Amino acid sequence: MSGWDRFKPSRSRLGRNPTNMDQRTVPRTVTLGRVQPQAPSHRTIYCNDRDANLVLRFKGNSISTTKYNFFSFLPKGLYEQFRRVANLYFLMVSILSATPYSPVHPITNVVPLSLVLLVSLIKEAFEDWKRLQNDMTINNTLVDVLQDPRWECIPWKRLQVGDIVRVKQDGFFPADLLLLASTNPDGICYVETANLDGETNLKIRKALERTWDYLTSEKAFEFKGEVQCEQPNNSLYTFTGNLVMENQTLPLSPNQLLLRGCSLKNTEYIVGAVIFTGHETKVMMNSMNVPSKRSTLERKLDKLILALFCTLFSMCLIGAIGSGVFINKKYYFLGLDKGVEDQFNPNNRFLVALLTMLTLLTLYSTIIPISLYVSIEMIKFIQSTQFINKDINMYHAETNTPALARTSNLNEELGQVEYIFSDKTGTLTRNLMEFFKCSIGGEMYGTGSTETERGIAEQNGIKLQEQKLTNAVHEKGFNFVDERLMRGAWRNEVNADACKEFFRCLAICHTVLPEGDESPEKIKYQAASPDEAALVIAAKNFGFFFYRRTPTAIFVRESHVERMGKVQDVSYEILNVLEFNSTRKRQSVVCRYPDGRLVLYCKGADTVIFERLTVGNDNLRKVTREHLEKFGASGLRTLCLAYRDLVPDVYESWNEKFIHAKSSLRDREKKLDEVAELIEKDLILIGATAIEDKLQEGVPNCIETLSRAGIKIWVLTGDKIETAINIAYACNLMNNEMKQFIISSETDAIREVEERGSQVEIARFIKEEVKNKLKKCIDEAQQYFHNVSGPKSALVIDGKCLMYALDPSLRAMLLTLSLNCASVVCCRVSPLQKAQVTSLVKKGARKITLSIGDGANDVSMIQAAHIGVGISGLEGMQAVMASDFAIAQFRFLKDLLLVHGRWSYLRICKVVMYFFYKNLTFTLTQFWFTFYTGFSGQRFYDDWFQSLFNVIFTSFPVIVLGLFEKDVSASLSKRYPELYKEGIRNAFFKWRVVATWAFFAVYQSLVFYHFVTTSSYAAESSSGKMFGLWDVSTMTFTCVVVTVNLRLLMMCNSITRWHYIGVGGSIVAWFLFIFLYSGLMTKHDRQENIYWVIYILMSTAYFYVALLLIPVAALLVDFIYQGVQRWFFPYDYQIVQEIHGHEPDDSRTDLLEIENNLTPEEARSYALSQLPRELSKHTGFAFDSPGYESFFASQRGIFAPHKAWDVAKRASMRSKPKIRQSWLKFSDRINMGSGNGRRPYCFSLWSTGAQTKQYDGSTTATSPPKQAGKSLAAIFFKKEIS
């Protein structure tokens, strides 16, 4: 074990001086998705030589993702807690309470602060302990390492840079490795990167030919090489380096790099050298936290806390001024003549006021709710982990993917979203590509109809006839119908040679890996993208079956090429692969035919291919462009195919430049792109492919529902403008009723300027064109903006125009136009432009934004929005790793926003308001007492009462409120999406709402103080003694605890057993505490005056009468206010409650079907039985609006006896126009007819319907599905307007 368990003194290898090596620089960490190049330096690694690497001090392979360690936990944890203003404030108050000027014991403020800090630190410790356990499991995983020509198992954490390791099939790579050898032929291995980016398709990695032999331990022990490579960085898909061995320099690329966390598949084992370890591996450098985001409500909460600070300061200032005025020697009985403390010295009134200010600051400190933040954190955490993550309605069974809340900070933000920015591919669509149509040599093939075409036809009232072919070939990835190309029929086409080149390009120009048996029925393809797999599957069905790949060749089984029915296996030598990236937007392969022909096949976006076509054949170019436009109008994804025959001399000259660029350590990617430009020119157009990406299930319905909720949806995509528009039609984002504003760079004027080639002139002209178009659109749109009943508008803009529209001089015009459009579609946009558009609305309009996407190109957009949602799709997990919430399908947004988002917003608002109310109420009773003590700072309550009020006696019920409050059920939340608009308007956290709660806090505090103090004058104990200060304060505190807990029940819309346990338990906890506290006394007890107080109080009738009447008097005004508000000024959700509050949870039976089998009398009785009752089963209402039975009966056309309350109800409806608006603003006005000078407003409250009779005498027919299973009855509210 020499050289392993302990290291010998370092020795220099022949020809090397390790001390002169380039020292490693610590790379700057960046957030995921924002890859930045490292400094232009490199590191040198000596393979299989630990001693030589020791002097370079490379990092070890042990990782730690914990936030704290044993020594830093307490100081760092406390620092994190005291970064909060509220905690810092209470620390200051606790220090002040230890001074002689404090009227309260330090324990009054120290105890609640300590409890809050303790809970927060325990939570932090628990989360960090989980991270530590995970780290220990990973660090202790075993791996085979070469040591003294044999393999030894050691933990991952003991690996060092330069070690030679062996990884077996299905094993994970312990570090970033340089692939040396593989058991597969030609040094190939297959890698799954699911843990890295979520992609389950296998990637191929190939060792350098010079290292293929180092497979056994004996041969690997002989390997001595020097790796010169880039510094550690977080770019997952790039790697530059050279392997120097035996005086030969071999270029290294990402094809030889195996990243930590990936797993080995379909390979017995591989041998590799460790390049990067531990926190320097690429996956660890990408594991940055998502940028910290604070919800809008939390920022508004800071303003509320600031308002409380101002209130506290005002109260203290009043008390300080009062103290300075009150203090006087004439009050001889106070003994203020001589030897008095500075705080009560009449000779220095300013000092008296100043010291009283400090005294009152500690006395009134409870006005700031210390447990507010920790309670909200706890509520949000449970909401995320127990409600969102476990919602069965957001679980995708096909992929076994539940919803995932990656942060709990933004739960309530989900209830206020006004703008959604969505990617298209993989987000609105399935990202399951099917080859659907094509264009070859100017001829279009494919007869099917896409979902988009069928959707547009239905909107235009046209029914498309699907062509059914019994012998049509259909498999996953191939949905092509046209007999002219199938089964060798293409040989009979006029453009047969073009067809042959087309099919060969599909079969050769790709990076797909075949798996399984080499037969068309059993083979499986592993592709980097679904598009590429669909193209290879298409080639197979056309008779060009790709079945095998080696590092240097592709094997294709070609049918019907020389003659019908003949099948031959052809090997094409792959000389170079110019890979696809987002900048190039194309992929090329240079191959050699068996007969020696050199061909470059290229496929890519139409814009880049057309730029590189050879001069001539304009007719083919024009016809293909027309076909591309038709494909785009059908919602299809298009690619252009082209080829070029190469001359050997030209190719050899180019290949030397290519090899030189590939060996470069600096700017390798840039140099490769420049070299590719030299050969990807003078191309001959073959044709174009059209692939259908079907819409995800439920997308149109989800978008329609979200639109009704007041949410505006923008689609930001890289697709062609025609494709994006038609997808928008298919998913109900746009319709023929809308006025469309299209700003496109595809105009004759812009093309003419672009052909001149002057970049400065092009930029100036396009900017001016965009400016003129924006002005024209805004002028034209004015009539639509101000006409509520007019048609909605939609904006469509492409990336080139958007680039100029985002210029600071035009940004305001773009924002004005887009904010007034119901839908916005941005086409041909880059990832940066997606983020810029999102930031434009977020910062410019100050609206709550949500971005949703599924790919790496959506990361910047996701991080730029208030809320980022990632979709676990086929494009990897980069979007999920950067998101705040993750879902499997776009349609789950409906549950995430309309249910969980709205509930969370409502709950957090109520929690904050309740905290504000109860603390203000409690503190004000102390404030009123100050007026009767000469502003001396005498405390009204015992220290322990003040300490435990927030953390014990009122803490649990507010947690229950934040977890279980529910105004309407989940189904009703989605059935009435208009309810969501209350969150957008921030209806429950306005200053008006705060002022209302403040009014009730002032009123109740006055009731508590004056009712108790006044009534106690005449009260006396069983021994005949009058009640003293501590008797009165204990009685007051009891009334406060009982009242604020009961007030919580009044604000609940639904009450569960947890509410009763929480409220009842808090009240019982108070009595248990006071029984023990006043029943015990020690010699060190400061508050001996509390001794036996509760027993004396409870021995009198006064206690029970006061405990009954004072809470009733305090809550009476709240009760009346809730009733008046609910009856005359109801919120939208209260209207829905009244409609559905009497319905059982299960679906009601079909009324129409039942009534058809009843006699008229039975039907009337049954109808009356279905009407709402006066006594609501929906708990938590202040009181039910009476007379609803006869009111609803009359609206349904059913005779029922009138009640007295009906008259008042109807009179109030006629006399209050706001009532009409509040009931109708929520409705869908399905009919606006005119007759006899009146216009009835009708509102159907059931989503399904039948032919129903309206009460203006007309009828409306609807056609619901017969199997809907929902109630088909319709209620109509109408209000006649002259």
Give catalytic residues, as residue numbers: 423
Q: How far does Cα 410 stand from its chain's mean position?
A: 9
DSSP 291: P
How far is residue 18's CA from residue 736's CA, in Å, rounded to a whole number? 73
Half-sphere exposure for 362 (CA within 13 Å, toward CB): 29
Q: Which parts of 140-216 fold into alpha helices (H)?
A: 194-197
How far is residue 628's CA from residue 630's CA, in Å, rounded to a whole number? 5
DSSP 1246: S
How far is residue 127's CA from residue 109's CA, in Å, rounded to a whole number? 28
How far is residue 167's CA from residue 184's CA, in Å, rounded to a whole number? 13
How far is residue 67's CA from residue 134's CA, in Å, rounded to a whole number? 13
How far is residue 299's CA from residue 304's CA, in Å, rounded to a whole number? 9
How far is residue 662's CA from residue 578's CA, in Å, rounded to a whole number? 11
Beta bridge partners of 445: 438
**Token digits of residue 323:** 């103290």
Nearest CA to 391 among 407, 409, 403, 408?
403
Sign of CA dihedral 880, 886, 887, 889: negative
DSSP 738: S
Q: Amino acid letter at 326?
A: F
How far is residue 1220's CA from residue 950's CA, in Å, rounded to a whole number? 42
Torsion of CA 602, 604, 607, 610, to 10 degrees: 20
Torsion of CA 749, 751, 754, 755, to 10 degrees: -110
How far is residue 600's CA from residue 598's CA, in Å, rounded to a whole number? 7
DSSP 55: T
Q: How many CB atoms lie within 10 A of CB 20?
A: 8
**Token digits of residue 300:** 């508004």
- Cα–Cα distances in Å, from 1228 out to 336, 703, 1188, 1257, 1263? 74, 17, 22, 19, 17
DSSP assignment string, 35-95: -----S-EEEEETT-HHHHHTTT---S-----S--TTTHHHHHHHHHTTSHHHHHHHHHHH
With a CB cutoff of 8 Å and minimum separation 6, the contacts of 75 are none
Place of tokens 């403390």: 341
How far is residue 46's CA from residue 1106's CA, in Å, rounded to a whole number? 86
Nearest CA to 894 among 1136, 695, 704?
704
Nearest CA to 872 among 851, 890, 887, 852?
887
- Cα–Cα distances in Å, from 1239 out to 458, 561, 1233, 1244? 32, 74, 6, 16
How far is residue 125's CA from residue 119's CA, in Å, rounded to a whole number? 10
How far is residue 14's CA from residue 247's CA, in Å, rounded to a whole number? 13
Using an 8 Å Cβ cutoff, are 853 and 718 in contact? no
- Within 117-268, strands assigned E span 142-146, 151-155, 164-168, 176-182, 188-193, 199-206, 226-230, 241-245, 248-252, 257-258, 263-265
Helix (H, G, I), strand (E, B) or coil at 691: strand
DSSP assignment string, 496-549: HHHHHHHHHHHHHSS--EEES-SSTTT-EEE-SSHHHHHHHHHHHHTTEEEEEE
Q: Strands 684-695 and 712-716, how do they pair?
A: unpaired
DSSP 467: P
